[in-house]
A and B are shown apart, each in its own frame.
Chain A
Amino acid sequence: MAAAVRMLPLEFREALLIVVLAGFTHQEAASALDISLATLIARLTKARERVAALTRMPLVTEAEARAVRHLRVVK
């Protein structure tokens, strides 16, 4: 798991760890990283999907992933 996180691009790794490890709220994390909330959410999504792929532990089935992808960031 640590290796998978380490392999993430910097911006994805920062977004993920500042929320998961540091305990920042999304708004706080966006402010600390100087990015919009929508950008933070997009990075969190990519980071989580990549970590799941790198650890070869599919989080959900492809159908379930598609079902959730229809949820869009509206801000």
Chain B
Amino acid sequence: METWRLADLHAYVDDCLETEQRQAFEKRMAQDPALARHAAAWRAQNSAIRAALDGEGARAFSISIVRHQNEVVSRRSAAISARPSGEQPARSSLAAVADAARPSSKVGATHALWPPLSWRLILAVLSIGLACVWAPAATVVSAKGLAEADVAAFRAFARPGVAPVELATGDRTESEAWLTMRLMHPVHLPATPSTVALVGARIAPYPGAAAAFVVYRSQDRPLGLLVQSLDAPAPRAPQLVAADGGHAAVWTWRGQGFALVGDLDAAVLLKIAADFFDPSGEAAQAMPERGW
């Protein structure tokens, strides 16, 4: 009997087998239902990952990979520099990495979603730039950064045909626990005003660190609340901030930044944000306002 390797199973589900290899593997699966189910399950997982991380999510996740590739380039460059002057590498390391990073023609591949390496490097530079802009001291920019991230998340996750939440619940405590476990730091959600209904929560991309994204409904329209931990926890009442052709109501409370976005009139959005911020005076008593 032919010996199959775990690598072959991965290669099959990732469409890395040549036609003959694929056909042989499929014959093997026909004789081994457990192997076939395992392959089907991993393929389903691949599809679920692509569906979940399409668009903005994929962009956020790609950054760490690009950084890693840059580190590889740096390490190889350092190694080349350390060579004796007469010794030449067989091949340019940068070229080798660039070649390696270029998606080749996978057999049967239908999901080459990544742009070229050069574009990815530009993306990495932009992400680093965004991280610099998001310095805690630049408080005005912080509000805009929150607003932009929330507008992007709202457009990515609250559009028709997209499941807006990963955890569907109307329970604020449950949402806090779920977000806290996944983000690995405490997440405190404001009390839900009577004019809105909690729909659920999900993780959203954010430059440098993932953020909590909580979905509500008001007047039959979705509202997206982005929550991010801040280094500068001074509380600040909601204010409207323009971002990417939209606007968000942004405030801080309990060491977190909040941005609320929805397809609502700005005055209505701000009123809802004010209700979130301090429905009963609790927040103002907990932390006196000191500005951004």
The reply to whether A28 and B65 contact each other, CB–CB distance below 8 Å, is: no
Interface contact A72-B6, CB-CB below 8 Å: yes
A10: chain B residues within 8 A (beta carbon): 64, 68
A29→B13 CA distance, assembly (Å)? 15
Nearest chain-B residue to A67 (Cβ)? B34
B109/A17 in contact, CB under 8 A: no
**Could you mark each residue 10-40 of chain A with 1 if its beta carbon is under 8 Å from any beta carbon of chain B, else 0?**
1001101111111111101001111001100
A44 to B8, CA, bound (A): 12
Contacts known (A10-B64, A25-B106, A59-B42); A5 close to B53, Cβ less than 8 A: yes
Instruction: Give the residues in chain B near A67, CB-CB below 8 Å.
Output: 34-35
Which residues of A lie under 8 Å from residue B46 when comparing CB positions? 20
Q: Is the CB of B52 within 8 A of A5?
A: yes
Q: How far is the CA of A55 from the CA of B72 in the complex (A)?
A: 31
Interface digits, B86-127 against A, CB 8 Å rule (1 contact, 0 not)? 000000000011011111101001011110000000000000
* A34-B101 Cα distance, complex, nearest whole Å: 11
Contact B114 A23 (CB under 8 A): yes
Residues on B with C-beta less than 8 A from A26 are 7, 10-11, 14, 16
**With a CB–CB cut-off of 8 A, which chain B residues contact A23?**
103, 106, 109, 111-114
Q: Taking the nearest CB of chain B, how far is it from the CB of A68, in angstroms?
A: 5
Interface residues on A, range: 35 or more
Cα-based distance from A25 to B18 in the complex (angstroms): 12
Quick one: which of B37, B45, B99 contacts A52, CB cutoff 8 A?
Answer: B45
| Contact status B61-A21, CB under 8 Å | yes
A54 to B76, CA, bound (A): 35
* Contact present for A48 and B103 (CB under 8 Å): no
Residue pair B210, A6 in contact (C-beta under 8 Å): yes
**B166 contacts partner chain A, Cβ-Cβ < 8 Å:** yes
Enumerate A30-75 residues with CB–CB distance to B below 8 Å.
Answer: 31-34, 37-38, 41, 44-45, 48, 51-52, 55, 59-60, 63-65, 67-68, 71-75
Given contacts A28-B104, A71-B5, contact A41 B10 (CB under 8 A): yes
Contacts of A17 in B (CB 8 A): 49, 53, 61-62, 65
**Which listed residue, B7, B35, B100, touches A41 by the CB 8 Å rule?**
B7
Residues in B whose Cβ lies below 8 Å from that of A19: 14
Nearest Cβ on chain B to A50's Cβ, whole angstroms: 11
The CA-CA distance from A23 to B120 in the complex, in Å, is: 14
Q: What's the Cα separation between A74 and B41 when bound, in Å?
A: 23
Please state if A6 and B7 are interface contacts (CB–CB under 8 Å). no
Structural contact, A20 and B182, CB atoms closer than 8 A: no
Contact: A2 with B5, CB < 8 Å?
A: no
Determine if B233 is an interface residue (Cβ-Cβ < 8 Å).
no
Q: Quick check: B101 and A73 within 8 Å, CB to CB?
A: no
Q: Mark B1-30, 1 if CB is under 8 A from A, else 0.
A: 001111111110010100000000000000
Q: CA of A37 to CA of B8 in the docked complex: distance in angstroms?
A: 12
Q: Which residues of A contact B (CB under 8 A)?
A: 1-3, 5-7, 10, 13-14, 16-26, 28, 31-34, 37-38, 41, 44-45, 48, 51-52, 55, 59-60, 63-65, 67-68, 71-75
Interface residues of B, Cβ cutoff 8 Å to A: 3-11, 14, 16, 34-35, 37-38, 41-42, 44-46, 48-53, 57-58, 61-62, 64-65, 68-69, 72, 75-76, 96-97, 99-104, 106, 109, 111-114, 166, 182, 202-203, 210
3 pairs of A and B residues whose beta carbons are closest in the complex: A31-B100, A59-B41, A23-B112
